[in-house]
C-alpha cells in the first residue's frame, strides 16, 4: 500500500486524515451506523482500487466527499429498509439534551438539506464548492442553504427574524 500516493499522501495517511469527514458525510446521509460503515469502507476502497490522480489535497477531499455521497445514494436506492428519525414516535428521555446538538437537528432534515448544511457548517465548504461536489447549481445550493437554516430555526424554536 505504501507505493500509492494520493495528492502526495500515502493511502494510510489519507484514511487517517479524512476519516472524520467521510464518516460525517455518510452518517448524516444514512443515520444508521452499520450502513455508514459500509459506505465509508466502499469510499476508501474505491480510492485505493481506482487510484485517481489529484491536483492537491482539496481535490482529494472533494473527491472523497463526492464518492461518499454517491455511495450513500446508491446504498439508499438498494436498501429502502431504513427508518427515518421522524418516523420514531417515542423519543428517549434524554432527547431534550440531544436537540441542542446540531447533529440531532441535522438528522431531522431531508437528506439534501442535511448534505448541504453539513458540508457548509461542519466541513466549511463555500457555496460554489458544495455545488461542484454535489453537482448542483450554486444558486440552488444558496436557496437550499437558506431553507435549511429556516428549518433548523424551526427545530430549535428560534426567532423568525
Tally of CB atoms within 10 A around 146: 10
pLDDT at 22: 96
- Provide the pLDDT for residue 96: 43
Domains of the chain: which residue ranges? 1-80, 95-161
pLDDT, averaged in runs of 10, over the chain (161 residues)? 80 96 92 92 96 93 96 87 50 42 78 90 91 94 95 75 47
Q: Fill in the DSSP letter of residue 121.
A: I
CA dihedral of residues 39, 75, 64, 128 (deg, nearest 10): -140
Q: What is the reported pLDDT for 20? A: 94
Q: Could you say which architecture CATH assigns to the domain 1-80? A: Orthogonal Bundle (1.10)
Architecture of domain 95-161: Orthogonal Bundle (1.10)
- φ, ψ (nearest 5 deg) of residue 123: -100, -5
Alpha carbon distances (Å) from 133 to 26, 136, 145: 14, 8, 15
Cα gap 13→64, rounded to integer Å: 14
Amino acid at each position: 500500500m505504501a507505493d500509492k500516493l494520493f495528492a502526495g499522501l500515502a493511502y494510510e495517511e489519507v484514511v487517517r486524515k479524512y476519516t472524520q469527514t467521510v464518516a460525517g458525510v455518510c452518517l448524516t446521509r444514512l443515520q444508521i451506523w452499520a450502513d455508514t460503515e459500509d459506505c465509508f469502507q466502499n469510499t476508501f476502497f474505491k480510492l485505493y482500487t481506482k487510484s485517481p490522480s489529484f491536483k492537491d489535497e482539496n481535490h482529494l477531499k472533494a473527491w472523497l466527499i463526492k464518492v461518499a455521497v454517491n455511495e450513500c445514494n446508491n446504498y439508499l436506492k438498494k436498501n429502502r429498509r431504513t427508518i427515518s428519525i421522524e418516523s420514531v414516535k417515542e423519543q428517549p428521555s434524554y432527547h431534550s439534551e440531544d436537540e441542542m446538538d446540531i447533529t440531532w437537528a441535522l438528522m431531522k432534515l431531508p437528506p439534501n438539506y442535511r448534505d448541504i448544511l453539513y458540508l457548509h457548517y461542519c466541513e466549511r465548504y463555500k457555496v460554489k464548492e458544495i455545488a461542484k461536489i454535489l453537482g448542483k447549481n450554486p444558486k440552488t445550493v444558496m436557496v437550499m442553504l437558506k431553507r435549511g437554516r429556516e428549518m433548523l430555526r424551526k427545530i430549535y424554536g428560534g426567532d423568525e427574524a
